[in-house]
Structure 1
């Protein structure tokens, strides 16, 4: 399935305190370029991302399909009769773009996955002041789950977080670590940060 690292390579990495993944790399990999999300209504999603979160919409394109063959299955691993009605590209601050999809498909599940579901996910935005950002979300009618929590007792100590839900039910998060996180201080390495 995956090419395994030799026992010697793993032992060397552990002895040096390096993560084993540092020994393998997708050739030319530079970082995350975009994250694709499928939504029930692209206009609503883009309006939320632009008007509430503060992102910038770039352009839209599509549709793709319907195709008479199995192009959608072969290329996108979806139902062969699935159709991408529209895709809108959105950028949120200093981070990867979002590719916001509107699909229709005979086997489409209309419910977003929970974090506990296989394939579950969330997107986190970095903010300078998590309490101010939390209050802003609430004042704009966004459902915020509880209040910001510190990540004490972990290597993310120094970071606070809180989840919120989009109008279509997708989980998102805001985080803040104005003085950095414990891992950076203990291991003299930088976790990715949109401020840099």
Structure 2
């Protein structure tokens, strides 16, 4: 057996061994074709491949996915959206399925943020495509000074955000670690 050697950075690194980044974000949608149209035609993501439909599998659903045993996964579609993580989009049907979208303030609430070079141009584009934009862009303050952002909703009500900070953010001036930017 050979002995494994580690660089100082690997030896001192904390956390999950071997982690290199985020592979994908998975989310469930009520209408997979509507989500596909939004992600491909409006956002501009590439559809990479699809899986399913799947047969009923109570053991898989309850044991491996923590779902109702009678849940059915109709289809999964994978998308690449420029630089950054991939999306794994699910279409499920389950006896105990909740249909309302969580808000950011709800436990499990979330949103997906896209970085754009020109926030005003991107907002106008979304509005031209009939996408509901929540108010006008907001300038951040404190450590995020230099950033502007705005939320928008997908056709099924999921929260997304646009962010832009072409000259960087204030915290970057003396930070030891920078947030990832596409």
TM exceeding 0.5: yes
CA spacing shift, 1:104–1:182, aligned 2, 3 Å: same
1:43 to 6, 19, 33: 33
How big is each residue's C-alpha offset from its partner over 1:131-176, in whole Å with a ceiling of 9 and x where there is no partner?
Answer: 1101110111000000110111x21111110000000000000000
CA contact (8 A) 1:72 1:79 kept: yes
For 1:188 and 1:24, how far apart are their aligned partners in 2?
Answer: 16
Please name the residue that 1:177 is paired with.
165
TM-fit CA distance, 1:183: 1.5
SS at match of 2:104: coil
The answer to whether residue 112 in structure 2 is matched with residue 139 in structure 1 is no
TM-fit CA distance, 1:186: 2.3
CA contact (8 A) 1:70 1:80 kept: yes
SS at match of 1:59: strand
Instruction: For 1:153-172, list aligned pairs within 5 A.
Output: 154-172=142-160
Please name the residue that 1:189 is paired with.
177
Structure 2: 5+ residue runs without aligned partners?
1-11
- Following TM superposition, where does structure 1 have runs of at least 4 consecutive aligned residues deviating by more than 4 angstroms? none
Q: So what's the TM-score if we normalise by structure 2? A: 0.90
